[in-house]
Amino acid sequence: MAEGVPPQLDVKVGVKGPVEYRQYCDARMSDDSRKAPIAHFHGPLTMGPRTIDWKVPSDLVLRAGDQPVTLMAVAGTMDAEHGCWVVVRSATGEKHDVPRDLHPVADVVFPPKRVGDSPVKKRYLLDQRCCGALFKGPLPVPDDAGLGLAKVTYSFDSWKDGKVSPTTIEIPVVNRLVETNGKN
Q: Which tens digit of pLDDT belongs to each residue from 117-167?
A: 999 999 999 999 888 788 999 999 999 999 999 999 999 999 998 899 999
Does any domain span residue 3?
Answer: no
Count of structural domains, the chain: 1
**Total-model pTM:** 0.85
In a domain? residue 1 = no
Residue 182 lies in a domain: no
Q: Has residue 183 been placed in a domain?
A: no
- Answer for the pair 105, 155: CB distance below 8 angstroms, yes or no: yes
The enclosing domain of 103 has a CATH number of 2.60.40.10
Range of the domain at 138: 8-174
Please check whether residue 180 lies inside any domain of the structure.
no
pLDDT digits (tens, 9 = 90+) for 18-68: 888 888 887 777 777 787 778 888 888 999 999 887 888 888 999 988 889
- Residue 107 falls inside a structural domain: yes
The answer to the question of residue 152 being in a domain is yes
Judge whether 12 lies within some domain.
yes
